[in-house]
A = this chain, B = another copy of it.
């Protein structure tokens, strides 16, 4: 399979302009062919124009047709075969099983959204039938459905080159909602992006959809992304990345003549709370499991456990001893990009330099592009007096906070910003203490989990991968799981429309067979 480095716009390959740039092999820093050339401002504009033109037709595609489109994308991604896996490995440094697993997740996500589209409950259909005899005024016939918001811009994430990139969760949920998607490829994996973009572009053509339903644009800078975010035809933004990048998009979106929604998933240190009985009965075991989670994928997960809290004592000592014993055996692993590796080293150095922090253990040292895992410890008092200790260090580093007592542990949690996850390790004897923390945790995080770690985000219907700011820009939503489709919908009400003019989902006879709620009752077909 030949790899095209062109932008994909309007069903065609379009060569950009300017200085060519290359993907970089994560393990060596060497340039990988072919060269990429960034999209021009004019090309980005054209992608928005075509998305706008495609929108009305695409958002009214039959539910089955839209589901088949999502399934066609999944099939075309699998059809890329090993070319995709090897290119992705080369660009990201991630090992084959991880890439293959992530491909499975990506394809599974697309198929889940195909099911969601076929079921039609995302349309949120509601009917309040007319009551012509009501006094003093007759009640009109009112029907409501959710409609797609408009063209969506998706920014590929560096750390999930498949599952949160060109055909990742944001793209799948936006397409499922009925929104055309313009992807700004992450420059860390342009070849992977080009391959997956081609798979989507082929699916658009195979399914006979308007070509403007999908575009893929390359840029190794920020100009195209900012332009897309400001384009008046764009209705929403999906982003996974740094806090700096996400807040810049939030500003751009808020300053538009017509402000739009930004769904940015940005940063999280994912507190882990170790309760006394669990520590006493299995502190060492938890310590070993923690090291496995911390160092998984070189720690490059949004849900990586970056902060561990426990009341000081022999149980915590056992946890730390086991962690300190396990970590030196863990090899350094290649990080996604030189920039991420550098930021990791800076973050670790800041912890090393902090007089209130001690190093508990390190993993094995690695090559120039590998992150050496590291575990640090501090006290609750020190943590509370230095808010730099709550900064995310993206990679396999974590900070254990020895709290003087349960009150201090509570204070440390209360001082945290919004987080994606909180993990609680507990035995039954810990339930009382855990229960006391739950109200606080519900306000701080999007997902609370017990006796596990946040890494490994299940793609399902009850998943929330989100959380209060700054974990995300909008804590009312999730970026993983079927609920993510709601981000790209808005309600429209139809009053006294003749049946002939109603959208199919609201026609009296319910020809689509979608669930509808009548007079606020449970949704049924």
Interface residues of A (CB under 8 A from B): 56, 60, 115-116, 119, 121, 126-128, 137, 139-140, 142-144, 147, 149-150, 250-251, 254, 258-259, 261, 417-418, 428, 431, 434-435, 438-439, 442-443, 445-452, 456, 458, 460-464, 466, 468-470, 473, 475-478, 482-483, 489-498, 500-501, 515, 517, 519-520, 522-525
Contact = CB atoms under 8 A, between A and B. Distances in A.
Given A438-B501, A490-B476, A254 B250 contact: yes
A258 B137 CA distance: 45
Contacts of A116: 520
Contacts of A469: 258-259
B496 A451 contact: yes
Contacts of A56: 439
Contacts of A127: 462
9 contacts: A121-B522, A127-B462, A140-B449, A144-B463, A431-B498, A448-B495, A449-B494, A450-B501, A468-B490
Contacts of A477: 490-491
Given A435-B501, A501-B438, A461 B493 contact: no
Contact of A447 (B115, B435, B493): B493
Given A126-B461, A126-B462, A144-B462, A450 B523 contact: no
Nearest to A448: B494
Given A119-B520, A143-B462, A478 B491 contact: yes
A460 B128 contact: yes
Contact of A450 (B126, B261, B470, B495): B495
For A119, A448, A473, the residue with the greatest tally of chain B CB atoms inside 10 Å of its CB is A448
A302 to B, nearest CB: 14
A115 B520 CA distance: 9
Nearest to A497: B450
A140 B458 contact: yes
Given A259-B250, A522-B524, A464 B492 contact: yes
Contact of A492 (B150, B254, B448, B498): B448
A493 B520 contact: no
Contacts of A443: 150
B450 A483 contact: no
B522 A462 contact: no
Contacts of A482: 520
A228 B417 CA distance: 21
Contacts of A500: 431
A79 B143 CA distance: 35
Given A258-B469, A261-B476, A469-B259, A458 B128 contact: yes
Given A254-B254, A469-B258, A142 B450 contact: no
A495 B449 contact: yes
A522 B515 contact: yes
A33 to B, nearest CB: 34
Nearest to A483: B491
Contact of A452 (B140, B448, B449): B140
B491 A448 contact: no
A492 B449 contact: no
B495 A142 contact: no
A494 B515 CA distance: 26
A469 B259 CA distance: 7
B258 A492 contact: no
Contacts of A140: 449, 452, 458
B450 A466 contact: no
Contacts of A417: 258
A53 to B, nearest CB: 12
A448 B128 contact: no
B475 A490 contact: yes
B464 A431 contact: no
Contact of A501 (B150, B431, B445): B431
A123 to B, nearest CB: 12
Nearest to A464: B493
Nearest to A465: B493
A60 B440 CA distance: 13
A147 B468 CA distance: 12
A489 B442 CA distance: 12
A517 B452 contact: no
A5 to B, nearest CB: 35
A476 B482 CA distance: 18
Nearest to A520: B461
Contacts of A251: 254
Given A139-B458, A142-B460, A144-B462, A492 B447 contact: yes
